[in-house]
Amino acid sequence: MTLEPFYVRHFFGETHDTLAVIIHDHRFKAHSKGLRRLHEPRITFIESMNRKLVMMGHFNARALEIGPLTWAVISPSAMVRNFVQYLEAGNPINHLKMPGDLTEEGDALLASMGYGDDRPMIVLHVRDMGYLPEMSYHSFRAAKIETYKPAIDYLVSKGYRVIRIGDKTSVKLEHESPLVVDLPHHPDYSDILDVCCMAKARFAITCSSGPESMARALGTPMLTLNGYIQPDYWLNHDDVLLLKTYRDTATGEKISYDSMLSKNLFLETTTEGFERAGITLEDNTPHEILEAVQEMDMRISGTYVPDEALDNRFHELSVQHLARYRSELPDIGPGEQDRFETYAFALPWTRYSQSFMQANPWFLR
């Protein structure tokens, strides 16, 4: 409900007066009212109980002109690939703007909960195994909320209100400060608050899980922690990335960024895939998280002085391996639209955490 409509706006918004997206009926598959309202000034959502109709995009027949309509029968993976290629061509990211009525309603609700002051806000999301535990093939994306405590303490000491968002099945965030709000467990929680808080945040601390898409679509500066390399995970210009540590399971050695890419590990997207590749992913340590959050805070304040050589080396390796990977792709027929062709971290504005690169010179060897 976030990025697919966002891509539809980019690809068809200027050429079509009316945009409609067919989704499951909310009684069959619930969705966020806040995200829906974020899009509705431009997009009409049509709910259907016909599952085959909703899943038509997975046939991936491209955009078809049928009578007065353009049917964008494009799969999610093809759509995001097309968007990365759109960015590679130098096109702008047109971020979403909050509708006035949604902002007002969110502000009023926050005020009624006691958070209506002008205190700057940091939004935090940490995916854990309490969320969709049956999806064990995505267990490598989870992390432990307790490892974020030193960073939360730092943000509180700086006077920020930390708003934790996520699912009600997530592990509770226990903290003694009234400036730390565990939003999904608050008795007055409403799902419009996720998008309203993300829009208001000074910056967001996220991971490779759904809520980060709100920050990307809104243009809220974002620090992605405990990430993993992916072909289509594009970032905004003010974002910062920190991956989990990749380790060779047999030897115990840490795997450099160059080696990750040479092994095409950005194509691995399941726990079983990493196991077959002999790779173990280790969570960021509390100290690494703290230093990355401090770096992000200084970047947003304009007081951080990055080492351009580190940025250039990260970008050089990303571009080099993308070119190598593309040169090895076989020719395919026009019907095969879903293969990976991009590596979005090769976009020139992608920024990796310098605090990590400075403390871990092995990473860029």
Cα separation of 28 and 285, whole Å? 40
Cα separation of 31 and 36, whole Å? 8
Question: How far is residue 100 from each of residues 72, 106, 109, 193, 239, measured CA to CA in Å?
Answer: 29, 10, 14, 14, 26
pLDDT of residue 337: 54
Query: SS3 for 60-81, per residue?
Result: CCEEEEECCEEEEECCHHHHHH
**Burial class (CB within 10 angstroms; exposed 0-12, middle 13-18, buried 19+) of 31:** middle
Phi, psi of 72 (to 5 degrees): -85, 80
Per-residue pLDDT of the chain (365 residues; tens, 9 = 90+): 999 999 999 999 999 999 999 999 999 989 999 999 999 999 999 999 999 999 888 888 889 999 999 999 998 889 999 999 999 999 999 999 999 999 999 999 999 999 999 999 999 999 987 666 666 667 888 999 999 999 999 999 999 999 999 988 889 999 999 999 999 999 999 999 999 999 999 999 999 999 999 999 999 999 999 999 999 999 999 999 999 999 999 999 999 999 999 999 999 989 999 999 999 999 999 999 999 999 999 999 999 999 999 999 999 999 999 999 999 988 765 555 567 899 999 999 999 999 999 999 999 99
Residues 166/127, Cβ–Cβ less than 8 Å: yes
Helix (H) or strand (E) holding 156: helix 149-157
Residues 4/232, Cβ–Cβ less than 8 Å: no
Copy the structure tokens of residue 177: 């400060």
Phi, psi of 24 (to 5 degrees): -65, 145
The model's pLDDT over 317-349, given as tens digits with 9 standing for 90+, comes to: 999 999 999 999 887 655 555 678 999 999 999
Cα separation of 362 and 270, whole Å? 25
Task: Record the pTM.
Answer: 0.95
Helix (H) or strand (E) holding 258: helix 257-262
Copy the structure tokens of residue 214: 């709100």
- Side-chain-side CA neighbours of 183 within 13 Å: the count stands at 25
Mean pLDDT, the chain, rounded, equals 94
pLDDT of residue 31: 94
pLDDT of residue 146: 96
pLDDT of residue 332: 67
pLDDT of residue 331: 78
pLDDT of residue 135: 66
**DSSP bridge partners of 240:** 223
Helix (H, G, I), strand (E, B) or coil at 322: helix
Phi, psi of 146 (to 5 degrees): -65, -25
**Burial class (CB within 10 angstroms; exposed 0-12, middle 13-18, buried 19+) of 364:** middle
pLDDT of residue 133: 66
The model's pLDDT over 265-323, given as tens digits with 9 standing for 90+, comes to: 999 989 999 999 999 999 999 999 999 999 999 999 999 999 999 999 999 999 999 99
Instruction: Write out the DSSP string of 279-299.
Output: EEEEPPPHHHHHHHHHHHHHH
